[in-house]
Amino acid sequence: MTRAFNFSAGPATLPESVLRQAQAEMLDWHGSGASIVEMSHRGAEFMSVAAEAEADLRRLLDIPDDYAVLFLSGGATTQQALIPLNFASPGQRADYVVSGHWGKTAVKQAGVYVDVNIAASSEPDGYRTLPPRADWQLSPDAAYVHITANETIHGVEFRDVPDTGDVPLVADFSSSIASEPLDVRRYGVIYAGAQKNLGPVGVSVVIIRRDLLERVGQPRAEILDYRAHVKGESMLNTPPTWNWYLAGLVFKWMLAEGGVSEFARRNGRKSGLLYDLIDRSGGFYRNDVAVAARSRMNVPFFLHDDALDALFLAQAREAGLISLKGHRVLGGMRASIYNAMPEAGVQALAAFMVDFQQRHG
Ligand code: PMP
């Protein structure tokens, strides 16, 4: 068996050791005689898995006690709808800063419930920059300000936490959570679909400052109510146990590897290697994002001649480098290099890109 280096944007590559452990435990979890995926979520076995996963995530991200942590079924898009339902009153204003495709998705989900104010958008420049904080048109009465910490398609990432005063900052961290130290206290809500940096698709992590749970919000069923989920310890209904378990293994792996500070160093080196190579390629490769806004997680790039795209992808695949095709919104290529992408994978990609340029430049 050979595993390729997989640059998929999500569902994304997982640590090989985690997959091996899940494989070893698949039929008989810890001598229980059954797979963890076959057990009741309320049994002692799964309850211990769930509690450990939360404790490990709290340690990994240094999450203070006055923040609740939820593991909910479904993706980040669902949270984008639940956030206005839970934290804004009907028709109240909410500020959205749009720095790429997923910020727009968040606006679309929220627009049904709140009066969305686009406080700033970098759409006019094709999402190649971040809207400067000084230009944001924030509303004084906004329920919250929403940003996308890392735009997975456009490869644009906030490198500083914007100051929003007393208005809670809500951030979609789907594609950059746990990639570097995070000052949780600067945020009201942090949410992330797991399928990039935390584990398999099907579970989302939501981190909520507890005082926000006192907000009345909008009429909603209990199953759409964060407060009820906190009270029910993310087990109001049957949770995605397998996904939660696998995410827990990923948290343990990240802690054992040295935690988020170590991943910040690795991610800096990995993305630095690719951007350097692209910038020094004399125009053969191109990344259009302003240097200060470039993502450390998703590196979109273009070949100088798109007639070479298919050949690039085919030869990359032969070299054991897969899922490099860019999102259809942008075209070109994209290398997603989350925590679980080893440095050796990025080095192999860099070597391939240099060689490809020599042969076709
Ligand atoms: N936000 C970001 C930043 C994303 O990258 C994605 C998915 N790629 C989403 C939201 C939507 O997530 P989901 O498909 O899990 O709903």
Q: Is the pLDDT higher at 361 or at 220?
A: 220
Does ligand 1 have an atom closer than 6 angstroms to the CB of 175? yes
Q: Which residue's CA is the closest to the ligand 1 atom numbered 14?
A: 75
Q: Is the CB of residue 155 below 6 angstroms from any atom belonging to ligand 1?
A: no
How far is the C-alpha of 32 from the C-alpha of 307, rounded, in Å?
56
Q: How far is the CA of 75 from the centre of ligand 1 (A)?
A: 7
Residue 217 burial by Cβ neighbours in a 10 Å radius (0-12, 13-18, 19+)? buried
Is 172 one of the annotated active-site residues of the chain? yes
Q: Is the C-beta atom of 148 inside 6 A of ligand 1?
A: yes
What's the pTM?
0.98
Residue with tokens 């990639």: 179
CB of residue 157 inside a 6 A radius of ligand 1: no
**Which 3 state secondary structure label does DSSP give 336?**
strand
The answer to whether the CB of 177 falls within 8 A of the CB of 151 is no
The tokens describing 48, both together, are 């211990």
Q: What is the pLDDT of residues 194-242, one digit of tens each?
A: 999 999 999 999 999 999 999 999 999 999 999 999 999 999 999 999 9
- Mean pLDDT (the chain) is 97
**Tokens standing for residue 66:** 């006055």
> What pLDDT is stored for residue 2 in this prediction?
87
As a whole number, mean pLDDT of residues 70-99 equals 97
Q: Do residues 131 and 107 make contact, with C-beta atoms less than 8 angstroms apart?
A: no
Q: How far apart are CA 321 and CA 313, in angstroms?
A: 9
Q: Which two tokens stand for residue 343?
A: 């440095």
The SS3 assignment for 316 reads helix
Ligand 1 pocket residue status of 102, Cβ below 6 Å:
yes
Q: What percent of the chain has pLDDT over 90?
A: 99
CA of 33 to the centre of ligand 1 (A): 36
| Residue from 71, 77, 146, 297 whose mutation best tests the ligand 1 pocket (most atoms within 8 A of CB) | 77
Q: What is the pLDDT of residues 99-140, one digit of tens each?
A: 999 999 999 999 999 999 999 999 999 999 999 999 999 999
Tokens at residue 9, please? 């944007």
Ligand 1 centroid from CA 156, angstroms: 14
Ligand 1 centroid to residue 177 C-alpha, Å: 12
